[in-house]
Amino acid sequence: MRKKLLMILTFIGGLYYFVYWVMPVESRLEDTLAYFGKVTLVIGGFAFLLGVINMVRLHGGKIVLKRPGYHNSVALIVAMIAMTLAELLRFYIKPTPDWVSKAYDLLFFHMRTPIDSTIFSLLAFYMASAAYRAFRIKSLEAGIMMAVAVIVMLGQITVGISLTKWIPSEMLQLQNIREWFMKYWNAAAQRGILFGAMVGALALSMRIWLSLERGSFFDRQL
Amino acid sequence: MKKPWYEWIQSIDRRIIYLVVFVLVSLPFFIPIPLPMDVSEQVQKLYNKVEEIAEYNKTAKKKKVVLFSMEWDPAVQAECWPQTEAMAEHCLTRGVPFILFSRWRPEGPTLAQQIAEKRAKEHGKKYGEDWVNFGYKRMDLPAFLAFIKDIYSQVTKDTEGTPIRTVPMMKHVESIRDVDLIFHVTGSVGVEQWIQYLQPETGVDVSIGCTAIIGPEMYPYLDSGQMVGMMEGLSGAAQYERLVGHLEGRGTRGMGSQNLAHFWIIAMMILGNVGYVFQRRRERLDKQRVEMSGE
């Protein structure tokens, strides 16, 4: 029964937006759009809550049973509660007390921001090492790829661009060769990928709308 | 046995590579490297669009507005921060009001708020009159469609908790059609939805500030004219800073590090391949020698 209900709700939800796009503006269907927008926001709010409950259950269980690595779970739960409290207090207590502002700044600007940036910055080190170890010209295709990569990289930076500034023909200057690769070869490939992805998305949307998709709850007996 | 040189240059310890990257990236922060700068077509077009809005606003009673779609987080702030800063600088100095807003990244408007506050203070501009922060408003596609139809149906308060209808700057914005440019800053996705759902209905121009890795995906939109301009990576931000005369910005300062890091990566790629070519040559010669001695 629950499965059928889900299928019916999914179909009606999809039907509304399908009809919205194909009906003329005069249909006044637009007037209901804001209402449905708010409905999805509320549903989304519940999804957030479910996520939090799920995380607390999973990591709470780990902490209670003292499973290996439980201290990471403690850090996660503490960080989550601290950040939520700091944000809520900052938003709802007006004027914001000094200690709340300080706690928020400490957590967001002096912990969360540098940690995130640092982790992502590690990529620069890995990329340098990976380019050195893995990028070998083992075939003609690999050779072409490397040549294009070098041109695009040099064409992206100012010193690279000035290397070929002396060439009288602008066409042969690095930044223009790079632009040519990006505008024509790259754009054509990207268009092809986009087109394929969109056809796939259309097929997937149809399958979800008509509840034909396998996996997730569709296969399960609810 | 001592390793032949071509094998040695293929197996440099990765810690040495990391150390050199660290030194090269850090060095320009202490010793600034003066660099020549050319402005790309995409950056120039974006700049021209904002200038066009600024010219219109000089005489218009109802000003045109730029919406900053701040879909970035601290992970990509090396590129997205200077892009946002350069655009905020341009808007504030040329009298173009702007809105900060995000659908996916709660951190985006918070970081952008810092940028806007700093730039606004320097130019004597006021929150609420020259810029406003809608903050993070989680929106799925249906809510986003409703937002396009009626901004006020989905966003009721700014980050301060003030009803947005009472914010002085919002007198210029009755609907999304009064926004003349979307400036979407991102390290991942999202700009497509502005192009797919907003542009066909309203004709609002869309532009992007993105990490260099996302840049190639944007070329089909630039080519078709669906996107008016782009700031691609750190160099895009540095070019824009040059156009607006904000040369002390993070973009210009960061270009030194990027130049050196790129050269190092290219040098390492060449070094590895020189070793590889010579190793293969040596192996071929050894094989020939064995075959000849066998005969």
pLDDT in tens, B104-152: 998 999 999 999 999 999 999 999 999 999 999 888 888 898 899 889 9
Alpha helices in B150-232 (DSSP H): 151-154, 191-193, 199-202, 215-224
Tell if the CB–CB gap between A34 and B35 is shorter than 8 Å.
no
pLDDT band of residue B32 (cuts 50, 70, 90) is confident
Residue A13 CB coordination number (10 Å): 16
Q: Of the candidates A132, A51, A71, A81, which has an alpha carbon nearest to the alpha carbon of residue B14?
A: A132
% of chain A with per-residue pLDDT over 70: 96
A78 domain residue, yes or no: no
Nearest to A37 among B35, B77, B146 (CB): B146
pTM attached to this predicted model:
0.89
Residue B41 CB coordination number (10 Å): 12
What is the chain A residue with the closest CA to B18?
A125
- Helices B107-123 and B77-93 sit at what angle, rounded to 10 degrees? 40
Tokens read off for A123: 């990529």
> What pLDDT shows up at residue A2?
81
Tell if the CB–CB gap between B276 and A38 is shorter than 8 Å.
no
A84 domain residue, yes or no: no
A184 domain residue, yes or no: yes
Residue range B155-208, pLDDT digits in tens = 999 998 899 999 999 999 999 999 999 999 999 878 999 999 999 889 999 999
% of chain B with per-residue pLDDT over 70: 99
As to burial, measured by CB atoms within 10 angstroms (0-12 exposed, 13-18 middle, 19+ buried), residue A84 is exposed
Nearest to B75 among A36, A120, A154 (CB): A120
Least confident of A106-115, A207-216, B255-264: A207-216
- ∠ CA B249-B79-B209, nearest 5°, is 100
Q: Which residues of B touch A86 (CB under 8 A)?
A: none
Q: How far apart are CA B241 and CA A135, in angstroms?
A: 34
Contact (Cβ atoms closer than 8 angstroms) between residue B209 and residue B83? yes
Nearest to B262 among A117, A157, A162 (CB): A157
> What pLDDT shows up at residue A218?
57
What is the chain A residue with the closest CA to B268?
A132
Q: Of the candidates B108, B171, B176, which has an alpha carbon nearest to the alpha carbon of residue B147?
A: B176
Q: Of the candidates A89, A55, A101, which has an alpha carbon nearest to the alpha carbon of residue A74?
A: A55
Tokens read off for A216: 């997730």
- ∠ CA B130-B131-B133, nearest 5°, is 160
Nearest to A158 among B35, B139, B143 (CB): B35
Q: Domain B41-248, what architecture? A: 3-Layer(aba) Sandwich (3.40)
Tell if the CB–CB gap between A157 and B38 is shorter than 8 Å.
no
Nearest to A30 among B139, B149, B154 (CB): B149
What residue numbers bound the domain in which A150 lies? Answer: 137-212
A118 domain residue, yes or no: no
Tell if the CB–CB gap between A116 and B161 is shorter than 8 Å.
no
A193 domain residue, yes or no: yes
Q: Which residues of B touch A133 (CB under 8 A)?
A: 14, 272
Residue A204 CB partners (closer than 8 Å, separation 6+): A213
The DSSP element (H or E) to which B50 belongs, if any, is helix B41-59
Enumerate the domain spans of chain B. 5-31+257-294, 41-248
Stretch B262-283: mean pLDDT: 92
Q: Which residues of A touch B231 (CB under 8 A)?
A: none
Nearest to A128 among B143, B217, B264 (CB): B264
Tell if the CB–CB gap between A190 and B219 is shorter than 8 Å.
yes
Q: Of the candidates A151, A178, A148, A158, which has an alpha carbon nearest to the alpha carbon of residue B219?
A: A178
Q: Which residues of B touch A120 (CB under 8 A)?
A: 74-76
What is the chain B residue with the closest CA to A122?
B18
Sheet holding B179-186, edge to edge: B131-136, B98-102, B65-71, B179-186, B205-210, B227-232
> Please, what is the average pLDDT of chain A?
88
ipTM of the complex as predicted: 0.83
Cβ contacts below 8 Å, chain A against chain B, sum to: 161
Q: Which residues of B touch A121 (CB under 8 A)?
A: 78
pLDDT band of residue A215 (cuts 50, 70, 90) is low
Tell if the CB–CB gap between A179 and B40 is shorter than 8 Å.
yes
| Domains in chain A, number | 1
Q: Of the candidates B25, B94, B106, which has an alpha carbon nearest to the alpha carbon of residue A125?
A: B25
> What pLDDT shows up at residue A193?
95
Alpha helices in chain A (DSSP H): 2-22, 33-64, 70-92, 98-107, 113-134, 140-156, 158-163, 174-180, 187-209
A189 domain residue, yes or no: yes
